[in-house]
Structure 1
């Protein structure tokens, strides 16, 4: 997104995700996810939990969305605030908190929709992991996310706008198979570790070629 601000020629090489990882998962967490998924449509996310991640917006929306539950995997300084918010809004029975997991992407299969409501991000790596798992995604309408996906691949919402967020979640859930497939194709073509390595090699090959002219 800074390309237009830099006068010198630049090349952008995006981060890449590994497509093959350890698939071990905590049995207790899996059982809890299966149990709540049997009752509700399941929103999920994993992150280092700070206010910048914007997760309170999802909890706020849950008070209007009685058939959804929300799973948060991770730890951080905003956990206590989120738990209190869930209590205040009487949605604490539909918001599940799990501690840090080495490979939180192992729990993606149990989510109906992956949510990433951040106020700012450098690169949405977790969102790319969700895409590689074929998940429908709802994310905030910020420039760094638009750089990764378009409106046909994810559902964007306006920050701090509960109506916009609800609409995005409902649309993502209804179209989850279509969106999941589109996001997977984009991520698999552009944001894998292999693609990142190929782009680095191409860049350095060009440098060597030009230096030998």
Structure 2
């Protein structure tokens, strides 16, 4: 069976699906399966000139927005690159970004398309202060979900929480399947260690949606109580200067280390003690599963797909979003009780191995892919 995995970001890009699919490809290497990856290179800009039309809505009513114009031009570029580069037919296309799926279905209308929606671009833009709720951009991006449902042969997402989020914007939410992201256990090698000072770590893009301002305020409360810790920030993004200034203002700059972008953070994570990320929104939160496989104690917020991974008090701790004091209290619990911290980390690791292994995802995908082959 000839399969195409259509990404938006190239596989070497950080985070989530783009870093997962190459490991998926390795598991499909056999005479029975042939899998290729496809994505849009960063250098491709403003090449596409094709007229864009959607089948379920008129995008031009939102065309005054620069954000919408950029989205449409990126779609044109993806169409142009797809027509230029893909010369052979596939039995099935699995797209992992709305632009990728819509472009593939336009170029190959007779090829079955599975579309996985991994995250909510509109929520990210709202939380990061780039668009207004219910504005032109928001309405446009919500309309894309209906177009995807209309065009794709099967719609998937990564958590029950995100399926509920999508429900108002599609006609048949009950038909949306759920396959969580899978992670190759071989990448994660927990290492026994005993740090004299608790090592906190977070891995994310530095944007407002990740709630790092809340984390910094919680860490300031911990310092005011006399607790020693080091906070490691792995990742980069547009608000890094603001976060560095906030750390200085709160008096925690000496306890905070900014690493910038790191291609393989899983190589560092086993040396830390606690993974913490007070996100304001997460469709799934892949980095929690990665931290769990590194055998770290997990502290997260009660948003999106995070509570599907963390059972509060059993394999991690959950706190309300936007609550620095609750976050500080949760961190204090795992900092002061190493035995409790270890039990949470061990339980998190066991659950991640059971529910979020790459092998499990591969098996579910193979079953689904073969259904399409049987229907052909």
Query: Could you state the TM-score of these two structures normalised by the residue count of structure 2?
Result: 0.49
User: Structure 1, unaligned stretches of length 5 or more?
Assistant: 24-33
Are 2:188 and 2:294, in contact at CA under 8 Å, matched by a contact in 1? no
Q: CA deviation at 1:10?
A: 3.5
Q: 5 Å matches for 1:25-40?
A: 38=196, 40=197
CA gap of 1:7–1:99, structure 2 versus 1, over 3 A, is: closer
Q: Which whole-Å CA distance do the structure 1 matches of 2:270 and 2:173 have between them?
A: 44
CA gap of 1:170–1:13, structure 2 versus 1, over 3 A, is: same
Are 1:22 and 1:103, in contact at CA under 8 Å, matched by a contact in 2? no
Indicate which of 52, 55, 60 corresponds to 2:217: 60
Q: CA deviation at 1:199?
A: 1.1
Name the structure, 1 or 2, with higher relative contact order (CA <8 Å, separation 6+): 1
Q: Which residue is 2:183 aligned to?
A: 17
Q: Which residue is 1:166 aligned to?
A: 328
Q: Which whole-Å CA distance do the structure 1 matches of 2:334 and 2:198 have between them?
A: 11
Q: CA deviation at 1:205?
A: 4.3
| Alignment partner of 1:181 is 2:346 | yes
Q: Which whole-Å CA distance do the structure 1 matches of 2:372 and 2:177 have between them?
A: 11
Indicate which of 246, 251, 260 corresponds to 1:85: 246
Q: Which whole-Å CA distance do the structure 1 matches of 2:253 and 2:289 have between them?
A: 28
SS at match of 2:321: coil
Give deviations 1:64-88, integer Å, cap 9, x for gaps: 2122221101111011111000110
Q: Which whole-Å CA distance do the structure 1 matches of 2:355 and 2:368 have between them?
A: 15
Q: CA deviation at 1:93?
A: 0.5
Q: Which residue is 2:266 aligned to?
A: 105
Query: Could you state the TM-score of these two structures normalised by the residue count of structure 1?
Result: 0.84
CA gap of 1:133–1:89, structure 2 versus 1, over 3 A, is: same
Counting matched residue pairs gives 198
User: Structure 2, unaligned stretches of length 5 or more?
Assistant: 1-160
SS at match of 1:137: strand
Are 2:310 and 2:318, in contact at CA under 8 Å, matched by a contact in 1? no
CA gap of 1:101–1:116, structure 2 versus 1, over 3 A, is: same
> Quick check: which has more Rg, 1 or 2?
2
**CA RMSD in angstroms, aligned pairs only:** 2.2
Q: CA deviation at 1:121?
A: 1.5
Bigger drift between 102-111 and 6-15 goes to 6-15
Are 2:300 and 2:317, in contact at CA under 8 Å, matched by a contact in 1? yes
Q: Which residue is 2:200 aligned to?
A: 43
CA gap of 1:108–1:22, structure 2 versus 1, over 3 A, is: closer
Q: CA deviation at 1:202?
A: 2.6
Q: Which residue is 1:134 aligned to?
A: 295
Give deviations 1:14-62, integer Å, cap 9, x for gaps: 1111222398xxxxxxxxxx9xx54x31110111111111111111112
Q: Which residue is 2:358 aligned to?
A: 193
Moved over 3 A (4+): 2-10, 204-209
Are 2:310 and 2:317, in contact at CA under 8 Å, matched by a contact in 1? no
